[in-house]
A and B are shown apart, each in its own frame.
Chain A
Amino acid sequence: MSNFLEVKDLSVRFNTEDGVVQAVDKLSFSLEKGKTLGIVGESGSGKSVTSLAIMGLHKGSRAEVTGQILVEGQDVNAMSEAQVRKLRGKSMAMIFQDALAALHPYYTVGNQIAEAYQVHNKVSKNEAKKRAIEMLDRVGIPEPQKRVNDYPHQFSGGMRQRAMIAMALSCNPSLLIADEPTTALDVTVQAQILELLRDLQKEFGTAIILITHDLGVVAETADDILLMYAGKAIEYGTVRDVLQKPQHPYGWGLLTSIPRLTGDPDKKLLAIPGAPPSLISVPSGCAFNPRCTYVSQVGAACSSSIPDLLPVSAGAHHLVRCHLDVKTREDIFKNQVAPNL
């Protein structure tokens, strides 16, 4: 079996007082071992909710999760809480954005890593501590024998993120979900952490899901990109396809609106008008249509029917959810988007 993770028609709904929030809507993707998938989107696009669903962390909450999440062929969504707990940490692990909030302030860093290791391995306390030191050393914490007894507040932001990675990887999981792992970090430290993740992936063959809003970070780390908007996948393909030949107007907007270190800095950034929609009242038809510049090229379909996620050309791995026909899309990209990239 080549795909380690297969997500099929994953939907997550929350019943709230204000109405039903469809946070994730029929999402499908797959991931091989040793590869990285970048899930990109703005706040409220459903990227974090997706990752929590894969980890089975919606169980026992008000969320309604439907669809299949196959981890090595086993459906996480159909499992009981106890069964998922056996997978968590061993087969799949997660690292979070805010390492200070994710680490327990009352226990030493070493204790927390050792605990995670002992849950899945029958080892003595001493052996578990040895493993914690080994892992801290592996993620580049200086003097691990000493720092293993430190509390999280004694670590700097970058070191806490490293400690969390050490904890997540202590049982050699096959899948690592990293939810905005570098957003809270400075650029020089971010570069260190991304490099560390790449190295560890090479060494252990881990499959990584990287959740981020930063297109620069995915460009550097991911193999595939899944672009999300208002809970739906709107573009899915390799990094090169999505970043260099983007097909969706939202992707065009994102790429032309980000400030870059190259190109003419005095040229106006081409911002996307408006703001992302509220998930309680998602616009009818294509959720992006109120902000889309190219609606006039299609007509009424944009606001009346939801486009399907279809291959850009027959048999292509690059999928896009847009009513624009292939020819028009290519013309727009060539004449209006590419010159601004």
Chain B
Amino acid sequence: MSTILKVEGLTKHFPGNKNGLFGKRDVVQAVDGVSFEIAAGEAVGLVGESGCGKSTTGRLITRLLEPTAGKIEFEGQDITHLSNAQMRPIRSDLQMIFQDPYASLNPRHTVGTIVGTPFKIAGKEPAGGTKKRVQELLEIVGLNPEHYNRYPHEFSGGQRQRIGIARALALRPKLIVADEPVSALDVSIQAQVINLMKDLQKEFGLAFVFIAHDLAVVRHFAQRVAVMYLGNLVEIADRDTLYTNPKHPYTKALLSAVPEADPDAVGARERIRLTGDVPNPINPPSGCRFRTRCWKAQEVCATTPPQLLQVGKSNVACHFPEN
């Protein structure tokens, strides 16, 4: 399979507060040296807790943010520092679905305008006219094509997310970055949207970066899963390996913390309780960033940051990976 996206040493540092008049400005190390590849048509899940840099990574890939360092290659082309104008033709292949279906749709535009805008921006008139194509798209995502002239407020949260998906699909992209696309939706609606995106992924051979904090949701969508912690990629493996045999202690703890809707499973599973909170990304721990909450941490963890290395079928950044 051909590689569609290659990310190498991707880094984003945001400027933080200034310390006094002549003091140095803090640096928030949101994403630090993240590398991975995505094959065409592959769905990769990006999971982690709030502040781990998963959304920033998504925004860097779509170039909504300017990377501090590192390299992003899309279909072999280096897009790391392309200007907005240079990015425009690439954007038709690289689209994004946002988390908040209320904030990501312009309330003053009709659904027809919202879903039709990509054609206008890209300067591509679809065969048969924009309106016809937009109505086809609405039908593909399970909305009534007659709702073409309605405004976003006339739709429920789940339906709005479908509008966002239709907009992302409009230019037939090759890669979609979906940032927490179902976390704002009710439980019974989540499954509808996950099923829809899965069907679309298969039908159009789309590659996906699926960003989510919910490990169970990612398990039902992604073929490969990457786990992030405090700006670092700590483990990446194919789905079955990651969920049945997590190698990084953090992955293991994360999996064991997910509550399951089965009273019998409650006592049966091994529980790892992490203590404390995620440290501040302005001043992350030296060496391995997870060491302050890790039960396996030793001296080497404080001095040397672990590299992402192959262990069994996974790639894991840990000095003492699990078996």
Give chain A's interface residues, CB within 8 Å of chain B. Answer: 42-43, 142, 156-159, 186-192, 194-195, 213-220, 239-240, 243-244, 253-255, 257-262, 265, 268-273, 275-276
Residues of B within 8 A of A259 (CB): 190-191, 194, 214, 216-217, 219-220
B213 touches A213 (CB 8 A): no
Rounded to whole Å, the gap between the CB of B212 and the closest CB of chain A is: 10
Residue of A nearest to B48 (CB): A186
Known contacts A42-B188, A268-B195; A220/B266 CB under 8 A: yes
* A220 lies within 8 A of B259 (CB): yes
Whether A243 lies near B187 (C-beta < 8 A) is no
A186 touching B259 by the CB < 8 A rule? no
Asked if A217 and B259 sit within 8 Å, CB to CB, the answer is yes
Which residues of chain B have C-beta atoms less than 8 A from A273's C-beta?
192
Q: Which residues of A contact B255 (CB under 8 A)?
A: 261
Q: Name which residue of chain B comes closest to A156, CB basis.
A: B277
* Beyond known contacts A43-B186, A186-B213, A188-B254: 17 more, CB 8 A cutoff: A157-B50, A187-B215, A189-B277, A191-B273, A215-B261, A219-B262, A240-B263, A260-B219, A260-B260, A261-B216, A268-B195, A269-B191, A269-B194, A270-B191, A275-B158, A275-B189, A276-B188
Complex CA gap A142/B292 in Å reads 15
B187 cross-chain contacts in A, Cβ below 8 A: 42, 213-215, 254, 257-258
Q: Do B191 and A257 have beta carbons less than 8 Å apart?
A: yes
Q: How far is the CA of A214 from the CA of B186 in the complex (A)?
A: 10
Q: Is the CB of A186 within 8 A of B50?
A: yes
Chain A residues whose CB sits within 8 angstroms of the CB of B263 once the complex forms: 219, 239-240, 243-244
User: Which residue in A220, A244, A260 is a CB contact (below 8 Å) of B216?
Assistant: A260
Which of B187, B216, B217, B275 has the most C-beta atoms of chain A within 10 angstroms of its own C-beta?
A: B187
How many B residues touch the partner, as a band?
35 or more
A216-B259 contact given A269-B195, A271-B195, A275-B159, CB 8 Å threshold: yes
- The residues in B between 267 and 309 inclusive whose CB is less than 8 angstroms from any CB of A are 271, 273-278
CA–CA, A231 to B213, complex, Å?
A: 30
A190 to B256, CA, bound (A): 12
Chain B residues with CB under 8 Å of A42's CB are 186-188
Chain A minimum-CB-distance residue to B280: A156
Supposing A159-B277, A186-B50, A259-B216 touch, asked if A214 and B191 sit within 8 A by C-beta, the answer is no
The 10 lowest CB-CB distance pairs between A and B, nearest first, are: A216-B259, A271-B191, A257-B191, A215-B261, A186-B49, A269-B191, A272-B188, A259-B216, A42-B186, A191-B257
Q: Which residues of B contact A260 (CB under 8 A)?
A: 216, 219, 260-261
Known: A195-B273, A271-B192, A275-B158. A190 touches B257 (CB 8 A): yes
Considering only residues 178-193 of chain B, those with a C-beta below 8 Å from chain A are 186-192
The interface centre, meaning the residue of A156, A244, A259 with most chain B CB atoms within 10 A of its CB, is A259
Q: Considering only CB atoms, which chain A residue lies closest to B47 in the complex?
A: A187
- Which B residues lie within 8 Å of A191 (CB)? 257, 259, 271, 273-274
Q: Quick one: CB contact mask for B225-268 with A, threshold 8 Å, 1 for yes?
A: 00000000000000100010000000001110111111111100
Contacts of B213 in A (CB 8 A): 186-187
B156 in contact (CB, < 8 A): yes
Q: How far is the CA of A319 from the CA of B70 in the complex (A)?
A: 59
* Chain B residues positioned under 8 Å from A268 (CB to CB): 195, 198
What residues on B are CB-neighbors of A218 within 8 Å? 261
A157 to B49, CA, bound (A): 12
- Let me know if B253 and A188 touch, CB within 8 A: yes
Cβ contacts under 8 Å, B259 to chain A: 187, 190-191, 194, 214, 216-217, 219-220
Give the nearest-CB partner of A242 in chain B. Answer: B263
Across-interface contacts of A258 in B (CB, < 8 A): 187, 190-191, 216, 261
Q: Assuming A159-B277, A187-B213, A265-B219, is B261 touching A255 (CB within 8 A)?
A: yes
Chain B residue numbers with a CB within 8 Å of A253 are 188
Contact (Cβ within 8 A) B192 A219 = no
Give the distance in Å from the alpha carbon of A42 to the alpha carbon of B217 in the complex: 18
Q: A187 touching B254 by the CB < 8 A rule?
A: yes
Which residues of chain A have C-beta atoms less than 8 A from B265's C-beta? Answer: 219, 262
- CB neighbours (8 Å) of A190 from chain B are 257, 259
When distances are taken between beta carbons in the complex, the residues of chain A under 8 Å from B239 are 265
Residues of B within 8 A of A157 (CB): 50, 277
Query: Which residues of B160-218 have CB atoms within 8 Å of chain A's CB atoms?
Result: 186-192, 194-195, 198, 213-217
B residues within 8 A CB of A243? 261-263
Q: How far is the CB of B188 from chain A (nearest CB, A)?
A: 4
Q: Tell me which residues from 136 to 170 in chain B have a Cβ below 8 Å from any Cβ of chain A.
A: 156, 158-159
Nearest A residue to B219 via CB reads A265
Nearest Cβ on chain B to A327's Cβ, whole angstroms? 26
5 contacts between A and B (CB under 8 A): A191-B257, A219-B260, A243-B261, A275-B156, A275-B186
- Quick check: B49 and A187 within 8 Å, CB to CB? yes
How far, in whole Å, are A261 and B215 apart by their CA atoms in the complex?
A: 8
Given the interface pairs A188-B49, A188-B274, A219-B259, the reply to whether A257 lies near B190 with Cβ below 8 Å is: yes
- Shortest distance between the CB of A23 and any CB in chain B (Å): 17
A262 to B51, CA, bound (A): 27
Bound-state CA distance A272–B254 (Å) is 28
Compute how far the CA of A258 lies from the CA of B275 in the bound complex, rounded to whole angstroms. 28
- B155's nearest neighbour on chain A, judged by CB, is A275
The answer to whether A261 and B254 touch (CB under 8 A), given A220-B266, A275-B159, is: no
Which A residues touch B220, using CB under 8 A?
259, 265, 269
- Distance between B224 CB and nearest chain A CB, rounded to angstroms: 13
Chain B neighbourhood of A275, CB < 8 A:
156, 158-159, 186, 188-189
Distance between B192 CB and nearest chain A CB, rounded to angstroms: 4
